[in-house]
Amino acid sequence: MTRSLNCLPLIAGLLTMLAPGAHAASDCQPIYDAYAAMAKAPAVRKTVKTPGMAEPVEFIITGTALYGRVGAKDTWSKTPIDDKTRAVLKRASPSPETVTDCRKIGARSLAGVAATAYEFAPPPMAGNAPGEKITVLIADKSGLPLSETAAVSGAEAILVYDGVTVPSP
């Protein structure tokens, strides 16, 4: 049986997890820039694994729609992205208004891609664990976020930009 998935609150909550609240402002700039670049990508696939969930939650985000499903056997649901949805996603994305507590961790790699790890604290909002810290790996070459790990909740997300195809819900 197909499980229905209201993607907007979950993706907004996940993006909000990425948005922090005071280390060096210069450590925050690469985070702001990475998420601004991600917002301009034609399509992004985000796969989120959360402790306690049997299957990952998958999202595909395009300029016009947000698709989501729980597990590979679930059917995709589609949420059109209108101006109201764009505003919610923008408020949830790291920016100087939402992220001020940032720290550069250093060089890392993911699947052979050179990256730099940064840590930040999301703002206190619904869906964020108290004291949460997010580690984001930003690709050195493209400047795009590759992965996100939440220290307290244990949620892990992988982001893919190449070869993303829009599903048929």
Smallest CA-to-CA distance from 75 within 58, 91, 99, 100 is with 58
Domain CATH code at residue 89: 2.50.20
Strand arrangement, sheet containing 102-110: 77-80, 65-70, 57-62, 43-49, 156-160, 145-150, 134-139, 113-120, 102-110
Question: For the segment 77-100, what is each residue's pLDDT rounded down to a tens digit?
Answer: 999 999 988 888 777 788 888 877
For the chain, what is the domain count?
A: 1
Average pLDDT (98-118) is 93
Question: For the segment 114-162, what is each residue's pLDDT rounded down to a tens digit?
Answer: 999 999 987 666 567 778 899 999 999 999 999 999 998 899 999 999 9
| Cα–Cα distance for residue pair 137/160, rounded to 1 Å | 12
- The rounded percent of the chain whose pLDDT value lies above 90 is 59
Q: What is the pLDDT of residue 164?
A: 94
The answer to whether residue 1 sits within a structural domain is no
Single pTM value for the model: 0.81
Per the structure, the complete domain to which residue 31 belongs is given by 7-160
| Cα–Cα distance for residue pair 148/50, rounded to 1 Å | 12
| Cα–Cα distance for residue pair 165/30, rounded to 1 Å | 28
Q: 148 and 136 in contact (C-beta within 8 Å)?
A: yes
The secondary structure element, H or E, covering residue 75 is none
The answer to whether residue 127 sits within a structural domain is yes
